[in-house]
């Protein structure tokens, strides 16, 4: 019965072919735990998606309600503090593991031919992750988030040519205020995750297409 169901699904969905392409791949000799940093980063992102959706159900992106809604989640909702902690520390873990993954790829030379495009897409993903951390820091609307955003937008102003325009676009005006909170919420919840999902799909496709790069061969040096 089980085999018949599996065959029925395979004929209509091709899941066995997908399994063979995605999972049944040869692993180069010498691959160890350092090669799991990308997978850990992906897990952290999925954790952020789940916890972020749950937090967004109880969040109000207005200056008079943002802090109170976060306080409500932390103090009133069952396991709300645990949920917020998972999202907060998961964000930090995602930045750390993604950075370590980039360093591992760089120092092991895994960005070289034919994987240059994989490296470029991975770098774009890393920048998007930093953007998620920056935009999410303001959402609790506390003193740390507010002044960190003020400093961050001031730094953006120093960029050549379009610095002031970029800062004004982020703030929604001359100062950090209600429009800034709304924009950061939209960017954090909609724009950056959508771009990150597209980037991850392209990145994973390239990893599967080219295969996992093995450790550097010291005997050839």
Cα–Cα separations (whole angstroms), residue 115 to 30, 57, 111: 19, 40, 5
* Per-residue confidence (pLDDT) for residue 3, from 0 to 100: 83
Q: Domains of the chain (ranges plus CATH)?
A: 32-212 (1.20.810.10)
Reported as half-sphere exposure (CB side, CA atoms, 13 A), residue 180 has a value of 27
* Per-residue confidence (pLDDT) for residue 97, from 0 to 100: 98
Which runs of E-coded beta strand occur in 158-211? none
Which residues in the chain show pLDDT less than 70? Answer: 218-221
pLDDT digits (tens, 9 = 90+) for 162-174: 999 999 999 999 8
* Per-residue confidence (pLDDT) for residue 221, from 0 to 100: 46
Q: Residue 30, exposed/middle/buried by CB under 10 A (0-12, 13-18, 19+)?
A: exposed
Single pTM value for the model: 0.91
> In sequence order, which residues have a C-beta less than 8 Å from that of residue 41 and are 6 or more positions away?
94, 97, 98, 101, 129
Reported as half-sphere exposure (CB side, CA atoms, 13 A), residue 190 has a value of 6
* Per-residue confidence (pLDDT) for residue 219, from 0 to 100: 44
Q: Count CB-CB contacts under 10 A for residue 195.
A: 17
* Per-residue confidence (pLDDT) for residue 25, from 0 to 100: 75
pLDDT digits (tens, 9 = 90+) for 135-183: 999 999 999 999 999 999 999 999 998 999 999 999 999 899 999 999 9
């Amino acid at each position: 019965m089980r085999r018949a169901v599996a065959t029925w699904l395979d004929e209509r969905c091709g899941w066995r072919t997908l399994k063979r392409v995605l999972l049944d791949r040869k692993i180069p000799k010498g691959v160890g735990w350092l090669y799991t940093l990308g997978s850990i980063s992906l897990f952290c992102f999925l954790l952020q998606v789940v916890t972020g959706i749950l937090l967004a159900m109880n969040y109000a992106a207005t200056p008079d309600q943002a802090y109170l809604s976060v306080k409500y989640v932390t103090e009133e909702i069952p396991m709300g503090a645990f949920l917020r902690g998972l999202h907060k520390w998961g964000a930090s873990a995602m930045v750390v593991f993604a950075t370590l993954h980039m360093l591992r790829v760089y120092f092991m030379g895994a960005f070289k031919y034919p994987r240059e495009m994989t490296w470029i897409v991975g770098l774009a993903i890393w920048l998007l992750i930093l953007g998620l951390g920056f935009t999410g820091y303001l959402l609790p609307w506390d003193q740390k988030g507010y002044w960190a955003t003020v400093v961050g937008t001031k730094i953006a102003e120093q960029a050549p040519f379009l610095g002031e325009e970029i800062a004004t676009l982020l703030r929604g005006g001359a100062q950090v205020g209600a429009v800034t909170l709304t924009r950061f919420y939209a960017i954090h919840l909609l724009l950056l995750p959508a771009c990150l999902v597209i980037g991850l799909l392209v990145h994973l496709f390239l990893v599967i297409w080219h295969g996992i790069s093995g450790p550097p061969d010291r005997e050839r040096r």
